[in-house]
Amino acid sequence: MNETAIVQTDLDRLAERVEKAASLIQQLREDRMRLERERNELTEQLQGLERKLQGQDVAALMQEVTSLRREQRDWQTERREVAGKIEALLKKLERLES
């Protein structure tokens, strides 16, 4: 009977390990399917962006972006200067009113 108990315990452990392995395999399959869907979505997005950019010079677009950023900085600098002048004028008006 002792040998039967040992064999049964070994079989139980083996069954647990097989169930864990099957569960892990199922989880890996689900993960693979999810990743394949994500990859397909990203591939479609990339192809869409490539179609939008097709015929356009990427270097020229990057140069334009750089130019627009420079222009934005210039406008921000000018805006700060105008705000400073307005503040100075307001202070002068306040002194005149006093």
* Residue 26 and residue 1 in one domain: yes
Task: Find the domain containing 78 and state its range.
Answer: 57-98
CA gap 32, 34 in Å, rounded: 5
pTM of the model: 0.47
* Residue 15 and residue 3 in one domain: yes
Encode pLDDT of 43-67 as tens digits.
Answer: 999 999 888 878 788 888 899 999 9
Residues 6+ apart with CB under 8 A from 61: 53
Final residue before a domain boundary, out of 40, 55, 70: 55
* Residue 51 and residue 84 in one domain: no
* Residue 4 and residue 51 in one domain: yes
Q: Report the half-sphere exposure of 37 (CA within 13 A, side-chain side).
A: 5
* Residue 26 and residue 3 in one domain: yes
The confidence score (pLDDT) of residue 1 equals 53
* Residue 27 and residue 9 in one domain: yes
* Residue 66 and residue 95 in one domain: yes
* Residue 70 and residue 96 in one domain: yes
* Residue 78 and residue 50 in one domain: no
Highest mean pLDDT among 2-6, 56-60, 87-91: 87-91
CA gap 10, 19 in Å, rounded: 14
Q: Is the dihedral of CA 31, 36, 37, 41 positive or negative?
A: positive
Number of domains in the chain: 2
